[in-house]
Structure 1
């Protein structure tokens, strides 16, 4: 079982020190959230809370996850980083390919690209991208980014993106894994069809196990059921050693945790207190690894 540290909503000046402590404690990765801006009024419900409201406000700290990955990779050696998840729909795939390839190269191939569509119409429209046909557009974006990252002279001619032969150098020396986020049917199909893994938002255990079963069925339909596939999960009702064992047995490969919340320390808590929480968590659950039942 791997553990990813979630750093969402933490003060930005804590991030590099948290990365260094996470590496010392044996965490595998850091999951990096994405938010472009806070609009005063939202025209769509946030999909991962019961009432559709956002659980952050206009003053909540955010950093571009790609910049955060570059900064934290510079002060670590083995720790991996992945976006959890970056909202593709409002962005440009060629610019993203340049950024992702740069991070992969500069970090020594320690970056995974977790992607989703994005839920807010404002993020699309105010960035000059139509909200309509967003799913099909993102499918093309994933194709474009993968194509460019594979290296060499490439071209693409699709419904939304069209370019003649071009090359970005250097290409990453290892393939960048793509993790697909989202809980809807189309998102799960996208993960099964083109992803190296699936990453969840907050879910309860029963919902999570049902989703994992659906992913297994879909991957078999696409002929990908024998390929490696990550399940990165935030489970809100399974904690502690027995809970993490349940998750491992259910097929979760990577549990995303925020240990200081378990200790009553808020997102904006002191750095030293958060570091102590990381060390306590690692002593309990990482030093003595959890292994899935065969």
Structure 2
């Protein structure tokens, strides 16, 4: 079982020090999230019962790939990914370039976690179509794999047309692509086109149901015998037994934030306040699951 910590809702200036602590404590990776802005007039419904995001407008969402590059520079083992990067809100070539650069600088310690997002305003600000974002992501995934091969590369499809070009640096090894989202379309995209799936937070029983759906879809697409990552957070009380049970049903990585329930971390102060929760969880859970 892999254990990944998240940067969302952390003070941006603390993230590098926390990444070093997580690296030293033996965790496997760090997750970044992606939002560009919070519009004054938010018209797009958030996918929740209230239709509203659970964070305040002033919440910081630092750029995913700047964060990953910075954290990679101060760590030696950690891998980095997204939960999730709204790739179709950006031009194809831009996504190919930033991910390839991060992969090169980190010596291949990155994955790309993609999703279609929900905020129309972000797409409009970037000049990208919102209505066909799912179909464009379906094409973007194989296009990115082609553009990352190195040498003279090109791509021709319905939504993207890339003439033969050189795009360097290219990744030192294939970049795993994971798909986020719980809709039928997202699950099918993950099973058919991707190297894994990224969920959110679930009870064990709900997580097991998603794993079963993905297993069935992978069999449908003839990919059941290929490696496949499943990363999510579990809402049940953390314990080595819980994560061993999760591994037994096919979950390969869990997202955790050991500091989230610590009142000392919630208060502003020295970044060292993160160290205790990180190390205690590593000793009591992570080490027991190795």
Q: TM-score range by the shorter chain?
A: over 0.9
Provide the residue aligned with 1:131 in structure 2: 130
Q: Could you give the per-residue CA deviations for residues 216-265 of structure 1, whole angstroms, max 9, x where no partner exists? A: 01111111111111110112235223332332223211010010113345
In structure 2, the partner of 1:85 is: 84
Question: Matched residues in 2 for 1:92 and 1:267: separation?
Answer: 37
Question: How large is the RMSD of aligned CA atoms in angstroms?
Answer: 1.6
The corresponding residue for 1:287 is: 287
CA contact (8 A) 2:240 2:288 kept: no
Q: Unaligned 5+ residue runs, structure 1?
A: none
Q: How does 1:49-60 map to 2 (within 5 A)?
A: 49-60=48-59
Contact 1:117 1:134 in 2 (8 A): yes
Matching of residues 1-294 of structure 1 within 5 Å: 1-47=1-47, 49-265=48-264, 269-270=268-269, 271-289=271-289
Distance 1:218 1:64 in 2: 33
> Which structure 2 residue ranges, 5 or more long, are not aligned?
none
Contact map agreement 2:44 2:121 (CA 8 A) in 1: no
Maintained 8 Å contact 1:9/1:61: yes
Whole-Å separation in 1 of the counterparts to 2:93 and 2:32: 21
Q: CA deviation at 1:269?
A: 4.6
**Cα deviation per residue 1:147-195 (whole Å; 9 max; x = unaligned)?**
1012222222222211221121232121111011000000000000111
Q: d(CA) in 2 for partners of 1:87 and 1:265? A: 33
Contact 1:205 / 1:238 at 8 angstroms: preserved in 2? no
Change (3 A) 1:268 1:122: farther
CA contact (8 A) 1:11 1:268 kept: no
Quote the offset at 1:39 in angstroms: 1.5
Residue 42 (structure 1) shift: 2.5
Worse-matched range after superposition: 264-273 or 206-215: 264-273
CA contact (8 A) 1:116 1:180 kept: yes
Report the alpha carbon displacement of residue 50 of structure 1 after superposing the two structures with TM. Answer: 3.1
Secondary structure of the residue aligned to 1:122 is helix
* CA displacement at 1:25 relative to structure 2: 0.4
Give the paired residue count: 289
